[in-house]
A and B are shown apart, each in its own frame.
Chain A
Amino acid sequence: MRALDYEVPDDLYYSKEHEWVKIDGKTAAIGITDYAQQSLHEVVYVDTPKVDSQIEQSQSIGSVESVKSVSDIYTPVGGKIIEINEELAENPELVNQDPYGKGWIAKIRLVDFDKDREKLLTATQYADYIESLEE
């Protein structure tokens, strides 16, 4: 679906800090949302976490830097990092060009997604949330 000028894919969960999470069995991919990348604009660095790190939901696991500002990446789910998007080191602009696809940031082995989900928003809820921010 779309909310204002922002894309909000239906099959993802979202955090209020503007990260998305895509569940695939026991693992999940995470990234920042279209709203987040449009607000940051022109991403020039992505500071990604290390593979094998144990992380907890809402923990800052890295940062996204644009020309004007820097934002923490707060992981929407806890677990263990099993893969990071190596391409972002060379092409950080992928976060702007394709935030839900080639701009993914990390893959995580989930520990307790049922619990993590309590804090997350569905696409409809997230769409309402960003509309409320722009009012």
Chain B
Amino acid sequence: MTEPTQKTHLYEFHKQTGRMTLFAGFDMPLWYKGIIIEHMAVRKNVGMFDIGHMGRTIINGPESEAFLNYVTTNDVSRLAPLSAHYSTICNEHGGIKDDFVLSRLGPDKFLMVYNASNRKKDFEWLVQNSKSFKTKVEHVSNNIAMFAVQGPKAQQTLQKIADSDLNDIERFKCGWTKLVQTDVFLSRTGYTGEDGFEVFVWDTPLSDPANAETVWNAILKAGKEFGIEPCGLGARDTLRLEAGMCLYGNDIDEDTTPLEARLGFVVKLKKERFIGKDALLKQKTEGVKRKRVGLRMLEKGIPRPHYEIWKSGQKIGHVTSGSFSPVLERGIAAAYIPTEHAVENVTVMVKIRGKLAKAEVVGFPFYDSTKYGYRRQ
């Protein structure tokens, strides 16, 4: 039996203006005007995504920090109130159950935002592992609307309708403010590589999305002078790939460790204990056998998931994410290959529809980070 298709707070807007697609059980916009237009709006100006399909859970109670330190790989004790960090949840074998962003709302209160495809799995895992801690895990996805406003003009766009100075919220910080007189929680995070904010419209049930629509429409209006575009999942995917970010289910899964995925920066092995620590410590000591790398096509053709990677007449791996890069105007991919080949400028072959095409191993992000992305000059 299939579950009924789910909708976000902004479904009516998408249905009227976008090309829809089914993603993780949600009826979502794939694009409105087109993936490339939307992608470039975010790289050059500003774009806005409805990300209400993502899972949102609040963890609250005196032992929340201890619980999260046990169930996630990053160091939660170093997360100050009104700060956010990227992290993973691993299984006992060090395989990634999910990747997510955790925000600390107060000393004992946290908000976790994770993948739509893992909504049920993560919540059950959190509930199950929280039993020996004094903490409460509450699923709030259906009561908080969530958008991402991304791009070099994101701050200017939101500032026009915000009640407070957004300079006060630095990258990976968060805070409360009002947008068009509506209470929102802002987190200076995203999934595009650009500067930008994720906007949480609190206390907005799916059954009464008026507040969410008000804020969404006000942002579109405020961003008009900067060339804002509403953006669908198509551009969300090409943007995160160009930035070198992982997509759960493609680039990472329960059989891939954060060390292989080059997410070692979110694994704090000095922590006393956490699920997956022993396996990850062992892998770190022994060295990883394969690594996630970027591939930039040197010939025509677009690498797609599952395409084989060849080197010196041998199959050495496969593509996990691949697309046309609107900024580079060529094919790019993320792939896992043996550590010995995972070196920048090494040439490999990608088997594209039966033909081998040349690609080179490159670092992340794919774009020139002096020209694009939040570090741009």
A26 within 8 A of B: no
Does B300 contact A41, Cβ atoms closer than 8 Å?
no
- Would you call A41 and B353 a contact (CB within 8 A)? no
Q: State in angstroms the CA–CA spacing of A4 and B326 once bound together.
A: 31
A113, CB-defined interface residue at 8 Å:
no
Asked if A63 meets B353 with Cβ closer than 8 Å, knowing A41-B35, A45-B300, the reply is yes
B235 CB to closest chain A CB (Å) equals 9
Within 307-352 of B, Cβ neighbours of A (below 8 Å) are at: 323-324, 326
**Option from B19, B35, B300 in Cβ contact (under 8 Å) with A67:** B35
A76 CB to nearest chain B CB (Å): 20
Q: Which residues of B contact A42 (CB under 8 A)?
A: 34-36
Min Cβ gap A5→B in Å is: 12
**Cα(A44)–Cα(B331), bound, Å:** 10
**A45 partner residues in chain B, CB cutoff 8 A:** 300-302, 324
**B-facing residues in A42-93 (Cβ within 8 Å):** 42, 44-45, 47, 63, 65-68, 70
Q: How far is the CB of A91 from chain B (nearest CB, A)?
A: 13
Given that A44-B324, A63-B353, A65-B324 are known contacts, is A70 also in contact with B34, CB under 8 Å in the complex? no
Q: A44-B324, A63-B353 are in contact. Are A70 and B302 (CB under 8 A)?
A: yes
B36, A67: Cβ atoms under 8 Å?
A: yes
B256 at the interface (CB under 8 A from A): no
Closest-CB distance, A37 to chain B (whole angstroms): 12
Instruction: Assess the B34–A41 pair: CB atoms within 8 A.
Output: yes
Taking the closest CB of chain A, its distance from the CB of B35, in whole angstroms, is: 5
Instruction: Write the nearest CB–CB distance from B192 to chain A, whole angstroms.
Output: 16
Contacts of A66 in B (CB 8 A): 324
Q: Complex formed: what's the CA distance from A67 to B302 in Å?
A: 8
Residues of A in contact with B, size category: 10 to 19
A67 touches B238 (CB 8 A): yes
Docked pose: A44 CA to B353 CA in angstroms: 16
**Interface contact B31-A65, CB-CB below 8 Å:** no
Taking CB atoms, residues of chain B closer than 8 Å to A70 are 302, 304, 353
Q: A41-B31, A42-B35 are in contact. Are A67 and B353 (CB under 8 A)?
A: no
CA distance in complex: A44, B234 (Å): 15
CA distance A45 to B355 in the complex (A): 15
A41-B31, A41-B35, A42-B35 known; A67-B324 Cβ under 8 A: yes
- B74 → chain A closest CB, angstroms: 33
- Shortest beta-carbon distance from B328 to chain A in Å: 12
- A77 and B323 CA atoms in complex are apart in Å by 31
Smallest CB–CB gap between B209 and chain A, Å? Answer: 28
Contact of A44 with B34 at beta-carbon distance under 8 Å, contacts A67-B238, A68-B234 already known: no
Q: How far is the CA of A65 from the CA of B322 in the complex (A)?
A: 12
B291-309 contacts to A (CB < 8 Å): 300-302, 304
Q: With the chains together, A41 CA to B238 CA distance in Å?
A: 15
Give complex CA distance A68, B353 in Å. 15
Q: In the bound complex, what is the Cα–Cα distance between A66 and B324 (angstroms)? A: 8
0/1 string, B223-238, CB within 8 A of A gives 1: 0000000000010001
Is the CB–CB distance between B301 and A67 below 8 Å?
no
Q: Which residues of A contact B302 (CB under 8 A)?
A: 44-45, 65, 70
Residue ID in chain B nearest A45 by CB atoms: B300
What would 7 more interface pairs be, CB under 8 Å, given A67-B35, A67-B234? A42-B34, A45-B301, A47-B353, A65-B324, A67-B324, A68-B35, A68-B234
| Interface residues, chain B, with chain A CB atoms under 8 Å away | 19, 30-31, 34-36, 234, 238, 300-302, 304, 323-324, 326, 353
8 shortest A-B CB distances, which residue pairs?
A: A67-B35, A44-B324, A67-B324, A65-B302, A42-B34, A42-B36, A42-B35, A68-B234
28 contacts between A and B (CB under 8 A): A41-B19, A41-B31, A41-B34, A41-B35, A42-B34, A42-B35, A42-B36, A44-B302, A44-B324, A45-B300, A45-B301, A45-B302, A47-B300, A47-B301, A47-B353, A63-B353, A65-B301, A65-B302, A65-B324, A66-B324, A67-B234, A67-B238, A67-B324, A67-B326, A68-B30, A68-B35, A68-B323, A70-B302
